[in-house]
């Protein structure tokens, strides 16, 4: 599976996120990469309630306590490690998780299409 490298690991601190574009099944999509207190995750930036971005374009994904990601439209809360919605109109649904790769200090995503 091709890897698309996004950023050096030191470019993000715990509690920070960055957005990126990728292709899946011929469709251009937006994802977000988040550095947690003890790891990294990446998800498609699309709420499971309505097909719109979680952050409404301001790169704010974490709740203030950093315990969850949240959707700014109707307040859905998602677990940061699994992407599962634990509160809100899409409770039980799950964000689409994007596999990560780490190599030579860089963080990348695994894509199903050549970069």
Query: Is residue 34 a contact point for ligand FES (CB under 6 A)?
Result: no
Phi, psi for 97 (deg, rounded to 5) = -90, 140
Residue 52: its H or E element: none
Query: Is residue 56 a contact point for ligand FES (CB under 6 A)?
Result: no
Query: Is residue 105 a contact point for ligand FES (CB under 6 A)?
Result: no
Q: Give the number of other Cβ atoms within 10 Å of residue 97's Cβ.
A: 14
Query: Is residue 50 a contact point for ligand FES (CB under 6 A)?
Result: yes
**Binding test (CB under 6 A) with ligand FES, winner from 47, 95, 107, 109:** 47
Phi, psi for 41 (deg, rounded to 5) = -145, 160
Query: Is residue 73 a contact point for ligand FES (CB under 6 A)?
Result: yes
- Beta strand segments in 1-115, E: 3-8, 17-24, 27-36, 39-44, 68-70, 77-79, 85-87, 100-103, 106-110
Query: Is residue 76 a contact point for ligand FES (CB under 6 A)?
Result: yes
- Spatial CA neighbour of 46 closest among 31, 60, 26: 31
Query: Is residue 115 a contact point for ligand FES (CB under 6 A)?
Result: no
Of 55 and 108, nearer to ligand FES (C-beta) is 55
Query: Is residue 77 a contact point for ligand FES (CB under 6 A)?
Result: no
Q: Which residues bind ligand FES (CB under 6 A)?
A: 47, 49-50, 52, 71, 73-74, 76, 88-89
């Amino acid at each position: 599976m091709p890897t698309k490298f996004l950023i050096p690991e030191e470019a993000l601190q715990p509690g920070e996120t960055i957005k990126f574009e990728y292709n899946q099944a011929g469709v251009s999509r937006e994802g977000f990469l988040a550095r947690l207190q003890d790891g990294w995750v990446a998800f498609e930036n699309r709420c499971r309630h309505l097909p719109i971005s979680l952050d409404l374009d301001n790169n704010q994904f974490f709740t203030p306590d950093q315990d969850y990601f949240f959707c700014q439209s109707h307040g859905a809360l998602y677990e940061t490690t699994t992407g599962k919605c634990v509160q809100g109109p899409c409770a039980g649904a799950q964000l689409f998780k994007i596999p990560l790769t780490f190599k030579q200090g860089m963080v990348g995503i695994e894509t199903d299409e050549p970069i």
